[in-house]
């Protein structure tokens, strides 16, 4: 996991704070996977506490409340929704190995607020053209 500080970040404080917290939690848990699970759970618990304050609890409405803009796209599928964002504030400028995901905190926030199962299926930090979250 590495930062590319030459890239302009959408929300610098959030970006750097998330990076440091993720690194510390991963260190404390003993692995990146353990850190990812813990960060997701923290996000979920925060989301559960935020739920009463979010009026529009659709995937698009929740993203807009959290990120202050609409996601790039929300697709309804038979199994749920796919929320897609090409300008994710958490992983902009991150470089991970191909196929890796990084936005576990956002996935947890979505899960907590929506009261649904959420997982990030693709991430810009892992080489995708957008961060994509599957919501069931």
Is 124's pLDDT higher than 90? yes
Residue 114's pLDDT is: 98
Distance CA 79, CA 32 (A): 29
Sheet strands side by side (includes 81-85): 73-76, 81-85, 131-135, 118-122
* b/e per residue 15-54 (b: at least 16 CB within 10 A): beebbeebeebbeeeeebeebbebbbbbbbeebeeeeeeb
Q: Which domain holds residue 80?
A: 2-135
Number of domains in the chain: 1
CATH of the domain at 117: 3.30.1380.20
- The pTM for the full model equals 0.85
- 98: pLDDT strictly greater than 60: yes
pLDDT, tens digit (0-9, with 9 covering 90-100), for 41-87: 999 999 999 999 999 999 999 999 998 899 999 999 999 999 999 99
Q: From CA 100, how far away is CA 126, in angstroms rounded?
A: 5
29 Cβ contact list (under 8 Å, min separation 6): 35, 37, 38
pLDDT given for residue 11 in this prediction: 54
Instruction: State pLDDT tens for residues 3-35.
Output: 444 444 455 566 677 778 888 888 888 888 898
Distance CA 86, CA 31 (A): 28
Q: What is the pLDDT of residue 32?
A: 83
């Amino acid at each position: 996991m590495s930062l590319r500080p030459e890239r302009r970040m959408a929300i610098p404080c959030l970006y750097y704070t998330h990076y440091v917290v993720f690194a510390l939690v991963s260190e404390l848990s003993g692995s990146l996977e353990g850190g990812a699970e813990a960060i997701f759970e923290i996000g979920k618990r925060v989301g559960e506490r935020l739920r009463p304050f979010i009026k529009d609890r659709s995937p698009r409405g929740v993203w807009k409340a959290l990120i202050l803009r609409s996601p790039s796209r929300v697709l309804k599928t038979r199994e749920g929704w796919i929320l897609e964002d090409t300008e994710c504030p958490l992983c902009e400028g991150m470089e991970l190995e191909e196929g890796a995901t990084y936005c576990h905190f956002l996935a947890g926030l979505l899960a907590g607020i929506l009261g649904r199962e959420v997982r990030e299926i693709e991430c810009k930090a892992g080489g995708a053209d957008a961060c994509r979250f599957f919501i069931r």
